[in-house]
């Protein structure tokens, strides 16, 4: 594990269930002052969690023959977009106007054919 790792997906192995390991200290270290603002804090943590869930979906449900990190990023964006539409819908127009990125993709520019 590198010092910069934010999370790791562990596949099921020898009868043990799959699990996700999140490195909270590393996530907070990215932007300690932003942790005081709940929507930003949620975005930073959910970005990591949804990316790792993307690895799980890739391994268990939707095997694709592309780079693993790209697949996980795409799933993170799909999951994250749905999450923020439900929980922080009021931030989406602001993010579009400001040209911000969510889960590594410009908001308003990315269109997933199946999401």
Q: Work out the number of other CB atoms within 10 angstroms of the CB of residue 60.
A: 11
- Identify any residues that bridge with 20 across adjacent strands, giving them in sequence order: 9
CA distances from 52 to 34, 83, 103, 110 (A): 22, 15, 12, 20
Q: For 61-82, how does the pLDDT look when each residue is reduced to its tens digit (9 = 90+)?
A: 877 778 888 889 888 888 988 8
Q: For 29-73, how does the pLDDT look when each residue is reduced to its tens digit (9 = 90+)?
A: 988 998 888 888 888 898 899 999 999 998 888 777 788 888 898
d(C-alpha 93, C-alpha 83), whole Å: 15
The token pair at 9 is: 């997906």
d(C-alpha 98, C-alpha 4), whole Å: 28
């Amino acid at each position: 594990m590198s010092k910069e790792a934010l999370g790791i997906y562990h596949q099921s192995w020898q009868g043990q269930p799959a699990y996700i390991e999140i490195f909270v200290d590393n996530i907070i270290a990215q932007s300690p002052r932003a942790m005081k603002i709940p929507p930003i804090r949620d975005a930073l943590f959910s970005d990591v969690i949804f990316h790792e869930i993307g690895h799980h979906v890739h391994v268990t449900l939707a095997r694709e023959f592309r780079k693993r990190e790209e697949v996980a990023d795409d799933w993170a964006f799909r999951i994250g977009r749905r999450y923020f539409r439900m929980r922080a819908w009021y931030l989406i127009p602001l993010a579009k106007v400001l040209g911000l990125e969510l889960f590594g993709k410009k908001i308003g520019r990315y269109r997933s054919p199946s999401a």
